Structure 1
Amino acid sequence: MRNIKRIFVVILAIYMIFSLAGCEYIMESESKAVTNENLEVHFIDVGQADSILIKKGNESMLIDAGNNADGDLVVNYLQKQNINKLKYVIGTHPHEDHIGGLDDVIDNFEIEKVIMPNAIATTKTFEDVLDSISKKSLSITKPKVGNSYDLNGAEFIILAPNGENYSSLNDYSVVVKLINGNNSFLFTGDAEELSEKEILTNNKRLLKSDVLKVGHHGSVTSTSQDFLDAVDPSAAVISSETGNSYGHPHKEILERLTKKGVDMYRTDSQGTIIMESDGKTINFNDKELFTYDASPKPQVIISELDKVGEIVTIKNDSSEDINLEGWRLLSVTGNQEYIFPDYALKGNATATITSGERQGDLIWGSENIWNNSKSDPAVLYDKDGNEVFRFDD
């Protein structure tokens, strides 16, 4: 009888343990289910760099923090968003334009978890970040593909890096997919084509996303066609700076996105981009879509108009020779027109069209054309009558 009682007590105890565990699981699931605050994604304008704030209710995370000079900008931006704690901070890879401001962020906010790849840079920028992590007695969590993390009911999953020995630091980039209900975002850091191929091999089924943060500031090293097709985004965001020395975003990527019908947003031309997700739809701040005309067009411009000297200088900005036969140059105020003969303007070369007593590469005529005291714009048309360039003096 005693043995029967003991067995009964053990069974009862086991039952209670599993019941309590079940209750805890249900409570956790219900807690996540009732977290109905909208998710916000802020693509902060940090010039030729990356910094992305994600917040949902009272929980927030930051992916990268711009260049060293952007530290105060990012800190001030977060403070204006009433943030004093970051649940996660991700430094995608140890390039200055991604982790430059991370030390300032770590110094000024309470941080719960820092995620950085197993990549080392012998730079003061990288050392500054490590020092700030050490001063806060934080540890670095290495990204493991497949690991997922909760952000107040939203979830992000690590998709890369898939290796540990890359020749380019860019391929160490931590790539994450963020899911909020039926909405999804893919953040790619500077991951290049090699990393993209590895993700396609290992986690292609997870790539489909509503919004793509275009890799490497729109460089041709990233956003391969196969990768873009697998993500199949409705919208894309490019973080870059006007007039940057890299030529980002590259026209090949703009054409690729345009041909796929992806709505484009750019921090270089539109400033900070903010998206808000309720789990069903994604709304954007009052930024108009960036449109890119992928159709080929002549690269001839009017580089200078000397009205006193009666000299118009045109330049071929492309590397290809362009035959100007049938093109027209118009003096708007005087309503006088010059029609180009058979003349090949060499790639990256200039040519002068002169009038009056001047002698140039091409001669308009012996009479003065340009009104020296009044405004007189010069307009260049191609042989089909399309306006190619207008020079407003």
Structure 2
Amino acid sequence: MKTSRITYAIISMLAGIFLLVSAGCSVGLPDTGASVSTDGQKLKVYFLDVGQGASQLLVTPSGKTMLIDAGNNDKEQVMLDYMKKYRISKLDVVIGTHPDADHIGGLDKVVDQIPVETIYMPKVQSNTKTFESLLTSIKKKGLKVKTAKAGISWDLDEQVHVDMLAPTRSYDDSNNMSAVVKVTYGHNSFLLTGDAEKESEKDMIASGADLRADVLLVGHHGSNSSTTLNFLKKVNPKYAVIQVGEGNTYGHPKSAILSRLQKQGVEIYRNDKQGTIEVASDGTTIHISTER
């Protein structure tokens, strides 16, 4: 009888420990009310620190890759170093959002050194050496540029979907010609805006596109030209990333934009303060880590 009681007590204790451990494993998992078949695999979006410029590298759960912009001309080697660091041997998609040097300056060397499957650029010309150098690199690789414009969409892999939301029309200002991309993985989404300004933001709203996103790349490095209150409310992000260089002469990001983001309860990350910013999504939750 004594032995049976001891055995029963041991079994009860082990069962309690099992239930406690099982409960502990489930802490923090939100009840979304819907299933997302991502199997816990991560989409990683790197907001690369390229100083006063912009570049985003995306790596999907299956290893597909997309590079949007590549910083200024003096960041060519920096970009190649990033490709090596993140073990990028091929780029499935490259997007040059618009011809400004601080966005496409490093793209020529990336195209020279890394195999590229598909490249998108908006239908806007520039007579700069930077733009011509990129076109030369594209031509040497035998690539054909696809026009970046609203209405284009594709699956980067089976679980990651890409929608191009802008430009919705032609603009005189090259910033407003910026390719704007929304990337969706499960319940999480990213809105990557290039240098799109008020006019483009207004047209995106008018288009009826679903602008909601968990993570917003703040337009035009936090300039007053972008991130209107109406647009920000439509996006309703939890997090904002500002790609900006230390001590830049433009005064980016502007205090009015920072204040606007803060008043909307958006958590702000900046390359000049935190270096490269890595945002990882499992399709349900987002984890952000910074270089510093």
TM-score interval, normalised by the smaller of the two chains:
0.7 to 0.9
Distance (Å, rounded) in 1 between the aligned partners of 2:291 and 2:284:
21
User: Cα offset for 1:286?
Assistant: 4.7
2:169 equivalent among 154, 163, 171? 163
Distance (Å, rounded) in 2 between the aligned partners of 1:105 and 1:33:
33
Match of 2:29 in 1: none
Match of 2:95 in 1: 90
Distance (Å, rounded) in 2 between the aligned partners of 1:145 and 1:191:
13
Match of 1:50 in 2: 54
Match of 2:27 in 1: none
SS in 2 for 1:93: coil
* CA contact 2:55–2:69 (8 Å) conserved in 1: yes
Match of 1:104 in 2: 109
Over the matched positions of the two proteins, sequence identity in percent amounts to 48
Distance (Å, rounded) in 2 between the aligned partners of 1:51 and 1:128:
18
Identify if the C-alpha distance between structure 1 residues 125 and 200 changes in structure 2 by more than 3 Å, giving closer, same or farther.
same
Residue segments in structure 2 that go unaligned for 5+ positions in a row: 1-35
Distance (Å, rounded) in 1 between the aligned partners of 2:283 and 2:204:
25
Q: Deviations over 1:201-247 (max 9, x none)?
A: 0034x101000000000000000010000000000000101111100
Match of 2:260 in 1: 256
* CA contact 1:235–1:263 (8 Å) conserved in 2: yes
Aligned ranges for residues 130-149 of structure 1 at < 5 Å?
130-149=135-154
User: Cα offset for 1:37?
Assistant: 3.0
Match of 2:251 in 1: 247
Match of 2:184 in 1: 179
Q: TM-score, normalised by structure 2?
A: 0.85
* CA contact 2:274–2:291 (8 Å) conserved in 1: yes
SS in 1 for 2:151: coil
Distance (Å, rounded) in 1 between the aligned partners of 2:165 and 2:208:
7
Aligned ranges for residues 1-393 of structure 1 at < 5 Å?
37-56=41-60, 57-152=62-157, 153-164=159-170, 166-204=171-209, 206-286=210-290
User: Cα offset for 1:287?
Assistant: 6.5
Deviates more, 1:189-198 or 1:78-87: 78-87
SS in 1 for 2:208: helix
Distance (Å, rounded) in 2 between the aligned partners of 1:170 and 1:195:
9
Q: Deviations over 1:36-75 (max 9, x none)?
A: 6310000000011001000013210000000011111011
* CA contact 2:38–2:282 (8 Å) conserved in 1: no
* CA contact 1:191–1:216 (8 Å) conserved in 2: yes
* CA contact 2:211–2:234 (8 Å) conserved in 1: yes
Q: Specify the structure having the higher radius of gyration (Cα).
A: 1
Q: Deviations over 1:94-143 (max 9, x none)?
A: 00000000101100111000000000010000000000000000000002
User: Cα offset for 1:146?
Assistant: 1.9
Q: Deviations over 1:243-290 (max 9, x none)?
A: 1110000000000001111000000111000010000001011568xx
Q: Matched residue pairs, number? A: 255
User: Cα offset for 1:167?
Assistant: 2.0
Q: Deviations over 1:1-26 (max 9, x none)?
A: xxxxxxxxxxxxxxxxxxxxxxxxxx
SS in 2 for 1:203: coil
* CA contact 1:207–1:231 (8 Å) conserved in 2: yes
Distance (Å, rounded) in 2 between the aligned partners of 1:239 and 1:251:
15
Higher helix share: 2
Residue segments in structure 1 that go unaligned for 5+ positions in a row: 1-31, 289-393
Q: TM-score, normalised by structure 1?
A: 0.63
Distance (Å, rounded) in 2 between the aligned partners of 1:274 and 1:219:
23
Distance (Å, rounded) in 2 between the aligned partners of 1:231 and 1:194:
16
* CA contact 2:198–2:228 (8 Å) conserved in 1: yes
